[in-house]
Amino acid sequence: MHQASNSTSESHIGNIRVIRHEAQAYPVSLAEQEAEVNRILSGGGSPCIILTEHPPVFTIGASGSESDVLRTQIDGEDIAVFKSGRGGEVTYHGPGQLLCYVLADLRQEQDLHRHVWRLEEMIIRVLKAFGLAGERDARGIGIWVEGNKIAAIGVRCRRWVTYHGVALNINPNMKHFAGIVPCGMPNAPVTSMQTLGVNASRMGVESVLQPCAQELFGSAG
């Protein structure tokens, strides 16, 4: 069984506040994001990114269907199911996957499509640093490599403050994806950095991602 950890740190890169958790249960992470959104809206908090990891869980987005959860016991593990308020359909989260939740204040810009573009661009730049050619795809939001999805994106926006974000597959248990129809698309096979021959650590990926996040989100709003 995977146990969530309380190991947490906070730092800054440029004007972006970075909250990092070793791991969190998905409902705990969602509660943290909602609390941060409330602080931003009330003027008591600042935009930030949250870097974390979750024990195995299938999350159902606002346009998702429980019928896209095919089974919840895979490779000897029970996988939780949680209804999420984010956009999108059904997604898997688990160890070996980096979650980057971007809490951005778009009250001046008011352009959610641009925000999603930045999320995609951040992952494209990260993958490029590891020798992988990440691409957008007409099949849907997210990032793909060689026709397979490597990063899922789901966003929620409340009064022009965003939360949720990106799940990048570094080296998760790929068997777990067999329990769902990922993002509601049966023609969208998934992949990971490890599957593509890149043996990267989460810390190594974060060290590349954080400056990319600063470049793209540091002046957003």
Q: Catalytic positions, please?
A: 183
Three-point CA angle 10, 27, 5, nearest 5°: 50
CA-based nearest residue to 61, from 80, 79, 81: 81
Angstrom CA distances, 43 to 30, 35, 74, 105, stand at 20, 12, 44, 11
Q: Who contacts 208 (Cβ-Cβ below 8 Å, separation ≥6)?
A: 125, 126, 129, 130
70: number of Cβ within 10 Å = 12
DSSP string, 158-180: ETTEEEEEEEEESS--GGGGGGB
- d(Cα 152, Cα 93) in Å, to the nearest integer? 10
The residue whose two tokens read 């996040």 is 213
